Amino acid sequence: MIDLQDKVTLVTGAGSGIGRAIAETFAKAGARVWVTDVDAASGEETVSRIAGSGGNASFLALDVRDQADRAAVRDEVHRTDGRLDVLVNNAGVGHVGTALTTTLEDLDRLHDVNVRGLLAITQAFLPHMVERGAGNIVNMASIGGVVGIRDRLAYCTTKFAVVGLTKSMALDHAMQGIRVNCICPGRVETPFVQARLAEYPDPKKAYEEMCATQANGRMAAPSEIADAALYLASDASSMVTGTCFMIDGGWSAGK
């Protein structure tokens, strides 16, 4: 079993879906988990779930776009634990649209969270990691950061940027003891996706079409993405840096 015993970890966007699954998986593996989210109620619920299973977690409110939030989170983690071993940049937002229906404001909104926010929270913790000569960063990209997806122009643009950030940071800091990788999920059956499906005229048909995108005919469970994050966050992946971990059910195999 891969473990994160005594590792200090922080997961952004951990109030639901993939982020919650990662936080819970890390806690079960023995990590000290800082759960962060813009939604305090959902973040606190994740902490309660972890505590109910005997894990060690605390909640901190974090909007990755907000400089004061980022500084407060960094200072509290360092004050309490003295270090951060693993940063998981999971927080992100989406948008449906083409070049004709996506406004510049739409693109700016996604960029502010998915790219600028990711880099900014990384910059909050990276100097101390470099000083210690140890650190592990896992970024949440997407299949949409490797191949194009119809009607997802702004989303794909930002996720391609996440892949680029990952590879650049991995190269820049490899000799300083820092590993940086990203996960590229395909369709994942999260509460957010389920809510969006309910808005379709025929939710069952929409669900089947989403599942058919993957070569294996189904969406991933959040726990399957969390298992990949656990591997990348652990010493079991000590030789892995600058990689894009594809978890897409074969979606990209034919691209």
Q: Which residues are known to be catalytic?
A: 155
Q: DSSP of 1-52, one letter per residue?
A: ----TT-EEEETTTTSHHHHHHHHHHHHTT-EEEEEES-HHHHHHHHHHHHH
CA 81 to chain centre: 22
DSSP state of 108: H
Terminal-residue alpha carbon distance, the chain: 34
**Cβ 247 vs Cβ 22: under 8 Å:** no
What is the helix (H) or strand (E) element at residue 128, kind and residue range? Answer: helix 118-132
Query: Measuring CA to CA, which residue among 67, 53, 60 is closest to residue 9?
Result: 60
**Cβ 161 vs Cβ 115: under 8 Å:** yes
The C-alpha atoms of residue 139 and residue 191 are separated, in whole angstroms, by 21
Q: What residue has token string 């994050």?
A: 229
